[in-house]
Structure 1
Amino acid sequence: MSTSASDAQGAGDEGPVARSIRTKLFSALQPSELAIVNDSWQHRHHAAMRVQGGGSGETHFSIQVVSEQFRGKTTMQRHRLIYSMLSEELSQGLHALSLKTKTPEEVQSQTASSRV
């Protein structure tokens, strides 16, 4: 699901972990685009998830975020920033994040080069 800044509340069908992720990222990064996909179902068979009884159903997420806050930061710095913001969730069962982080200019540049 993709969310624009005008739709900061996200979908009502999100679980508590996804809602917490959305709230924290919107608050800190003020993104122009944010997409959060729960990929947990793809990992429910992993040993660590079986030990947790299949987990909460909110253990693995793919996140795409476009924010001015990433300007001047390397990919590693951007990812560390997000992991830091979500440290509470990570300590309470969030297992893995797949992150795509871009500035609006990087998105525009990518879009322009794909048209050529």
Structure 2
Amino acid sequence: MAETVAQEMERRLRDAFAPTRLEIINDSAKHRGHTGDDGSGESHFTIVIEAEAFADASRVERQRMVNGALGDIPGDRVHALSIKASAPESAG
């Protein structure tokens, strides 16, 4: 059985950052029938991620890092992605 988009995002982010916290929230149901809803049920997501790798990065750099780790998923297979990336309190 093929992994879902959410499972693939989780795998890619865990591999890239070894996060201390990772939540992938599927917001697609809130956008049913709106622009970008492809009917898959996996078109809109929120990612909450905490990792040491973000300690010295700006908010924009953190978002670029996450998007880079996700490869072709944002914009290609997922219409909308909200990213809340932070470093653990004890970092940097």
Alpha-carbon contact 2:74-2:81 (below 8 Å) kept: no
RCO higher in structure (CA 8 A, sep ≥6):
2
In proportion to residue count, which structure has more helix? 1
CA contact (8 A) 2:36 2:43 kept: no
| Consecutive unaligned residues in structure 1, runs of 5 or more | 1-14, 109-116
| TM-score (norm. length: structure 2) | 0.86
Q: State the Cα RMSD in Å.
A: 1.8
CA distance in 2, matches of 1:48, 1:99: 18
In structure 1, distance between residues paired with 2:34 and 2:77: 14
Aligned-pair CA distance for 1:91: 5.0
Unmatched segments (≥5 aa) in structure 2: none
User: Could you say if the C-alpha distance between residues 26 and 36 of structure 1 is closer, same or farther in structure 2, counting changes exceeding 3 Å?
Assistant: same
Distance in 1 between residues matched to 2:6 and 2:23, nearest whole Å = 11
State the aligned residue count: 89
Name the TM-score, length of structure 1 as normaliser: 0.69
Counterpart of 1:36 (choices 10, 14, 24) is: 24
Runs ≥4 in structure 1, deviation > 4 angstroms?
A: none
